[in-house]
Amino acid sequence: MADFKLLGGTDPVGSSLGVMTQGLGFPLRDVEPSTSGGPVTVKDEICLSSESFVDQNPSGLGIATQITFGAADATAQFSIDAAGNMECLEEDEYECAVTFVVGREGSGGIAQIYLRALINGSQVGSSRHAILDTDDFEIPLEYNVQFNLQVGDILTFEMIRDTDGSNSGGLRAGIPDVPWNPSPSAFIQISRTLAVQS
């Protein structure tokens, strides 16, 4: 916790301290001023968490395929539909952690799978890339990005089999024979950092 006080005295209710920056390591986030000079608690809030437990495959080489994250759901900050469209319902800066399990079974040649994030249909940030040169192979890829989103913005993810590779590979879910929970082919968690006056 942190206490913000006006220099030279106590803080009357309603006084403005301006915008202060509280260093969190990464990312840095503006902290709203404390109007009463009381303690401020910095916390992370999970705004959306969703996952898919089905295999997902592009329909061919060079064909972008939107990634899905399970059933439709909604929170105060986001709604997600079964097609994987995530609509922002509250403007803010969000951290997005995604895990994809890329793999293939029983296919020859070398496959190249690319994944990307899009806001309102336009790519943001770099792509992620996996080369599959072994049959019956799976590897998790993590995708951690930060977005400033406005109300109505649509966040999506796509994968594609690059034309410089074989027509195989996609996202793989794992269903164990032992009584453990399954492993998703695609998992997403969106969060934000808040400064809350105690």
**Domains of the chain in sequence order:** 45-192 (2.60.120.40)
pLDDT at 19: 47
Write the pLDDT tens digit of every residue in 139-154. 999 989 999 999 999 9
pLDDT at 189: 98
User: What burial class does residue 55 get, using C-beta atoms within 10 Å of its C-beta: 0-12 exposed, 13-18 middle, 19+ buried?
Assistant: middle
Write the pLDDT tens digit of every residue in 87-125. 999 999 999 999 999 999 877 789 999 999 999 999 999
Bridge pairing between strands 111-119 and 65-66 = unpaired
Region class of 109: left (phi > 0), else alpha (psi between -120 and 50), else beta: left
Write down the pTM of the prediction: 0.79
